Amino acid sequence: MIEIIPAIDIMGGRCIRLSQGDYSSQKVYDGYPEDWARAYADCGVTRLHLVDLEGAKEASPRNLKTLERIAALGLLKLEWGGGIKDDTALKDVFNAGADWGIIGSVAVKEPGLMKQWLKNYGTRIILGADARNGRVAVSGWQEDGGLGLKGLIRLFTPDGLEQTIVTDISRDGMLQGPSFPLYSDLKESFPKLGIIVSGGVSCLDDIRRADELGLHGIIIGKAIYENRITLKELATCLQNA
Q: Is the CB of residue 133 less than 8 Å from the CB of residue 113?
A: no
Q: What pLDDT shows up at residue 64?
A: 97
Domains of the chain: total: 1
Per-residue confidence band for 170, with pLDDT thresholds at 50, 70 and 90: confident
Taking 80 as the threshold, does the pLDDT of residue 173 lie above it?
A: no
Residue 27 to residue 225: CA distance in whole angstroms:
10
Point out the catalytic residue in the list 130, 168, 172, 206: 130
Domain limits for position 72: 3-239
pLDDT at 154: 97
Specify the CATH number for the domain of residue 171.
3.20.20.70
Is 130 a catalytic site residue?
A: yes
Assessment of whether the complete model's pTM goes beyond 0.75:
yes
9 is catalytic: yes
Helix (H) or strand (E) segment spanning residue 65: helix 64-73
